[in-house]
Every structure is written in C-alpha cells, then in structure tokens.
Amino acid sequence: MTQYSPALELINLSKYYGKHRGVIDLNISVNPGEIFGYLGPNGAGKSTTMRLLLDFIRPTSGSARIFGLDTQSESLAIRRHVGYLSTAPALYGNLTAQEFLRYCSNLKGGCDWSYVHNLTERLDCDMNRKIDTLSHGNKQKIAIVRAFMHRPALVILDEPTTGLDPLVQHEFENILRETVEDGNTVLLSSHILSEVEGLCDRVGIIREGQLVAVEQVADLKAKQVRELQITFGSDITEQLFEGIDGVTNILVDGRHLKCDITGSLDELIKRASELQVLDIVTQAPSLEDVFLAYYGGK
C-alpha cells in the first residue's frame, strides 16, 4: 500500500457511553515507519481508541484517518492493510493453529506462507494441537502471528505481551523492529511502561480518557528528577555544590554527596571534577517514574 503521512490521525475524537466517558477530544498523529507507544492504566481509554480506529464502534464526535482514509466511510479498505491484536483475541478453539491460520489467510486472499512459518518458528508456536487445549500464552502467540502474517502496513496491538515468557517477548520485540524497518507502522498499547521504553521513539499518555502528553521518550525522561550519589577522596561540604542549576535536595555525609538533579549533569560534573572522585552512581528515570509523575500529580 502507498504510504501516507501521517499514517494514522485522530482529530478531536470523542466517545461517550451514555453519560460515561470513553475518550475525550483525542488529537494524535502517528508517522509512517514509527512504533508509537500508547500508554495508560486499564480503563484509561486505550482499547476504546483502537476500536474506534477499526470502526468496531462509532465516535460520539470527531474523526480518524488511516493512510488518508476515513475510518468510518472507508473502513473496509483500511482493514485490508491493518493487523490487529485485541486484549481478548477471538480464536476458533476447535481448530488447530495450522488450520486457524490457513482460514485467516484465505479470508485475506492468501499470504506468504514462508513468512508465516518463520513467525511460528520464532515464537515457538504449537501448530498441531487444537487451540482450546493451548495455554493462554500459547494462544497469545497464535494471535500475534495472525496480526502480522499478511505483512500489514499498520499493526494495532492492544497489550500484546500478556502471557508471553521473557524469551518469546524478546523475539516479539525483534519482529516489531523488523516491521518498521520494512516501512510499516505500529500502534502499541500497554500499561507496562518498561515494555515500550526500548521500542518507541514517541509515546502518548492517556489519563481518564484524555491525552496528557505526546512526547519523545528521551524528552519525557529528561524532565524527571534523577538521584545522584558521588563519593570523594576526602570530606566535602554542601556549599561546594550549592547554586548549580537543577540540583536540589543536597545531602553531604563526610565524603559522600547525595542529591537530585533535573536536566544536564554538565555543571555538577565539572564542579565535582575539581576534587578527587572515587565513585559516581546515578539512577536514570524509567518510564515508570514518568508515568507516576503524570498520574500522581507530581
């Protein structure tokens, strides 16, 4: 499919269930060839957003476009080029995984079975047992293959790693990276922030149906406070480190400095280098810290 920029666009998109909110005035633009992380706790509105994009439900107001096509009036054309994994994928339990994937392939008009076999081998799928007899994690692997098997231009994934063991999760992340290297786009919903930290360049954080941030992962982390501990060769005083931009909560105990810092470490390191430095320990903020900042009101 010819790529369109943006690959995915939400414009003042809102959904109410009677008096209860789903999502409110969402404005998001996702670029072609991007893994965009969509973050929020359960109930924040992530799944509602994805169902709106796929025209499973209709918005109360606003609109959305995928590859320049309207998600309501042109939903059939869109679905030919989209792979989707829901939080509760519907699989035909009376079929084997092999039979089920063949059936899905036929619905799509066929696909490259060498690629399908590559996916099933990498994810260690059991292809010959009936799906009803598989564990939750093994069912999830079949659902992942179904989402990727026709090499879609856009993959929409709602909590995709539920039930996966660490080795399979690592291979799944490799498949995601290969997908965008081929020029395709991924919308990845999760409430596990460490899951998307190493995958996404940008993330959107949704809170109670409203978008509270769309930023580069690096920019989000740069705003957060890091804890720094330095051990010197001799005793120091707090006054040596006062007045440095971004440095707060200075605590000195003999040769040990402990402080919080926001932004660049440059000035602090230059001040410390005037003395004998024996050890430096810093804890960079994780996306968990970022998440708590938005949800904890810090």
Contact predicate 33/185, CB 8 Å: yes
Contact predicate 160/88, CB 8 Å: no
- What is residue 224's predicted lDDT score, i.e. its pLDDT? 73
Within 10 angstroms of residue 192's Cβ, the number of other Cβ atoms is 13
Q: What is the pTM of this model?
A: 0.81
Looking up tokens 């919308």 gives 187
- What is residue 298's predicted lDDT score, i.e. its pLDDT? 45
Structure tokens at 33: 């060839």
Per-residue pLDDT tens listing for the chain (298 residues) = 556 679 999 999 999 999 899 999 999 999 999 999 998 888 889 999 999 999 999 999 999 999 999 999 999 999 999 999 999 898 999 999 999 999 999 988 889 999 999 999 999 999 999 999 999 999 999 999 999 999 999 999 999 998 899 999 999 999 999 999 999 999 999 877 777 888 898 999 998 899 998 988 878 777 777 889 999 999 999 999 999 988 999 999 999 999 988 878 899 999 999 999 999 998 766 666 766 766 665 4
Map out the domains of the chain with their CATH numbers: 8-220 (3.40.50.300), 224-296 (3.30.70.1560)
Contact predicate 100/93, CB 8 Å: no
Q: Which of 30, 6, 14 is nearest to 63 (CA)?
A: 14
- What is residue 4's predicted lDDT score, i.e. its pLDDT? 67
Element (H, E) at 139: helix 136-148
Pairwise CA distance, residues 199 & 287, whole Å: 12
Element (H, E) at 270: helix 266-272
- What is residue 297's predicted lDDT score, i.e. its pLDDT? 54
